[in-house]
Amino acid sequence: MNGNIITINDIKELLEIAPAETLVTSFYLNVDARRISPIKYKAIARNLLRDKQQSLDKEGLPKELLNKVKEDFKRIEDVVANRFELKGRVRGLVVIADAARDFFQVYRVAQPVKSQVAVDPDPYVRPLVAILDEYHRLMLVLLDQREARLLEVYMGEILEHETYHSAGVRGKVKEGGWYGLEERRIERSIENKIIRHYQRVADNVLEHFRRGHFEYLLIGIRAEDCSFFFPVLHSYLQPRVKGRLDLSPKDHIKDIVDAALRAERKIEEEEDGKILEDVVETVNKGGLAIKGIDNVLRAIPFGACQVLVVDDDYSMPGYICKDCAYLSLREGDCSFCGKEALSVEDVVEEAMQEVLLQRGEIKYITTDHPRLGEISHIGTLLRYKI
Ligand SMILES: [Zn+2]
């Protein structure tokens, strides 16, 4: 894994090359705090694992294999019950585990997931792949005239790659003033050393890029040093720069982490914003998109929702048909099949679960986005006209 944050490819590789006949547990849990309480999701997790355990017990698998699965289940339950921190915008918890191969990976993801557990010779990663696809791998380069630190930022986690001082760079280039000839010569020599230091950093960053370690760059550098660094950055990398952060390598790691995660979130939000705009414009053109909860609920039985965009804070009481699960805002018998409908606390949550089940995507948009009003809090790109 080259000392990088584990990605989906690492998981696939790791589990594909292993020859052992073992069982991999793939566990998905919806922990969306706005829509489901911790008591409830902990209970859901226990039930999922218990039911799975019971069905495995009946399959007559070798005891040794079963014991390893039990170990995984125990550890997953432990993560859900005790050690699972709901920081930031965590809405989904995913664990891929195989005790026989000493593999245990926890993902906290910002998208809701369909709660489920699979136990198979191969990991069930399809929902995870869709989620991880949306995250970008970022490299944060912190530098001043003497030091540099490279950090990888991915899915709300940060990994420090390397940190170095450039030897021989002493003093600081002065801003102006009167210099004697000797001082000017020294100044020039210091300046050359700083430029060499920046070139070394830039080469290193390029090497990471060539190895596929990141898609976008964030540069933490003081404004006054920018004019030295940006010109030495390789032209491949220039368009990858997503922004400059007012940071230095000497800053406290907590401040660095906070700033980096804020920047990561901003990038993801910008991308979600683009999809929202796509929905708004497609609706306005009369293309393959619809807006408003009524229309979305109508599209669901047809499996037509491809990318559902929804206001972070949006919820709505409604009804679900006991028989066909048709969702509606209106009381009374199901307008799809005529059977009895039951009331549900939040029809938006039910709709999202259904879209996930139909292999659609969900994009949350922060509630203060100015264009959310144009789709009445919810809308979707359609797979086909309904
Ligand atoms: Zn019905």
**Domain CATH for 197:** 3.30.420.60
- Pair 313, 208 in one domain: no
User: What does the buried/exposed string (b/e) look like for 202-226 if buried means 16 or more CB atoms within 10 Å of the residue's CB?
Assistant: bebbeebbeeebbebbbbbbeeebe
Q: List, for residues 134-180, the tens digit of each pLDDT value.
A: 778 889 999 998 899 999 888 777 777 777 776 555 444 444 445 56
How many angstroms is it from 118 CA to the middle of ligand 1?
A: 29
How many angstroms is it from 301 CA to the middle of ligand 1?
A: 10
pLDDT of residue 192: 84
Residue 112 within a domain: yes
Nearest CA among 10, 250, 26 for reference residue 154: 10
Decide which of 351 and 167 is more confident: 351
Domain boundary residue, one of 132, 164, 181? 132
C-alpha pair distances (Å), 227 with each of 241, 242, 249, 339: 15, 17, 18, 70
Band of residue 294 on the pLDDT scale cut at 50, 70, 90: very high
Q: How many residues does the chain have?
A: 386
Decide which of 226 and 219 is more confident: 219
pLDDT of residue 379: 97
Average pLDDT over residues 181-209: 83
Other Cβ atoms closer than 10 A to 359:
12
Q: Residue 257: pLDDT above 90?
A: no
d(C-alpha 263, C-alpha 217), whole Å:
11
**CA 309 from chain center: how many Å?**
16
Average pLDDT over residues 309-336: 91
Q: List, for residues 20-51, the tens digit of each pLDDT value.
A: 678 889 999 988 877 788 889 999 999 999 99
Contacts of 171 (CB under 8 A, 6+ apart): 186, 190
- Pair 64, 113 in one domain: yes
- Pair 104, 170 in one domain: no
- Pair 116, 169 in one domain: no
Per mean pLDDT, which range of 77-91, 160-174, 220-234, 277-291 is the poorest? Answer: 160-174
pLDDT of residue 377: 95
How many angstroms is it from 322 CA to the middle of ligand 1?
A: 7
How many angstroms is it from 303 CA to the middle of ligand 1?
A: 15
How many angstroms is it from 315 CA to the middle of ligand 1?
A: 22
Judge residue 236's burial from the number of C-beta atoms within 10 Å of its C-beta, 0-12 exposed, 13-18 middle, 19 or more buried.
exposed
d(C-alpha 1, C-alpha 11), whole Å:
9
How many angstroms is it from 345 CA to the middle of ligand 1?
A: 18
Give the count of domains, the chain: 3
Residue 40 within a domain: yes
Return the CATH number at 120. Answer: 3.30.960.10
Residue written as tokens 């989904």?
Answer: 92
Q: List, for residues 95-134, the tens digit of each pLDDT value.
A: 999 898 888 888 888 777 889 999 988 777 767 776 776 7
Domain that holds residue 234: 138-251
The tokens of 206 are what? 């390029």
Nearest CA among 233, 72, 35, 214 for reference residue 148: 233
Contact 24/12 with Cβ under 8 angstroms? Answer: no
C-alpha pair distances (Å), 184 with each of 94, 96, 144, 187, 227: 60, 61, 22, 5, 20
